[in-house]
Amino acid sequence: MKRRKLGAAALVLLAASLWAMPAYADPGDVKCHESPDYLVVQRDRKDWRSDFLIKRKAHPSDQTQCAFTQQPAAVLIGGRGKRYLFVSQKDDLLVLQHFGSKSPKYGPHLKLIVLGERLVESDLGILSGIDEVKDEGIDLWMKIDTKPDKNNCPDYISGSEGADLDKYINDKDEPIYLIRKDFLDFASRKIVPGTETQCLGPH
């Protein structure tokens, strides 16, 4: 779990990041996500990733400007070398996809960021897909560590091509793996495991 302090240090980092900001799709490609206490300003880049500027409101009725501009206590998520996509914002929770280099075979990591005096970031695992974003949480598919076998990956045993299960499990470039339909509960701020699974891999 990572913690990011707001304040002078954050503003120095923000200024440096804005100075070296990557090219954007268009100067006007800005959208905002709002809760009673926070405004999250999203600016899209040409590489189909986004940067986010977190602005805290002094009062829920404040009309904070929807603009990607520096202001006291604003904090940047993203910048050079960072690759994020927006998923959802709910009150003081921000959910993002993070594209790193650790698991390129499987997909982005799901990040839950708690907004506050400190930004608290949690890595919830590898995201395979999103079904639906609801008021109470998100229906999604997450990669799990369960080993593929003839019961949970039957298509790789009796498929039309007579696939060899061991060959696909041990494939270094495109191994098969299991995903599970889970639920990210905003109230508990945790992943609630489901029971439905799917086997993914080359066909």
Summarised one tens digit per residue, pLDDT across range 144-171 is: 999 888 888 887 765 545 456 777 777 7
What confidence score (pLDDT) does residue 200 get? 86
Parent domain of 192: 134-203
What average pLDDT does this structure show over 126-155? 92
Domain shared by 106 and 139, yes or no: no
Residues 50 and 104 both lie in one domain: yes
Question: Domain check: are 94 and 54 in the same one?
Answer: yes
- pLDDT-based confidence at residue 25 (cuts at 50, 70, 90): low
| Last residue within a domain, chosen from 61, 96, 127 | 127
What was the pLDDT predicted at 26? Answer: 55
Number of domains in the chain: 2
Task: Kindly give, in sequence order, each residue whose CB lies less than 8 Å from that of residue 82, ignoring residues fewer than 6 positions away.
Answer: 49, 51, 98
Are 198 and 117 within one domain? no
Separation CA 39–CA 41 (nearest Å) = 6
Would you place residue 186 in the very low, low, confident or very high pLDDT band (cuts 50, 70, 90)? very high
pLDDT tens across 60-111, in order?
A: 777 778 889 877 788 899 877 788 999 999 999 999 999 876 545 678 999 9
Domain boundary among 86, 112, 127: 127
pTM of the model: 0.78
In this structure, the answer to whether residues 109 and 173 fall within a common structural domain is: no
**Do residue 43 and residue 119 come from a single domain?**
yes
Determine the pLDDT at residue 128: 93
| 6 and 106 assigned to the same domain | yes
- Assess whether 106 and 162 both reside in one domain: no
Q: Kindly state whether residues 10 and 40 are assigned to the same domain.
A: yes
Residues 23, 106, single domain; the answer is: yes
pLDDT of amino acid 100? 76
Name the domain boundary from 61, 94, 127.
127
**Count of other CB atoms within 10 angstroms of residue 71:** 13
Q: Are residues 98 and 149 in the same domain?
A: no
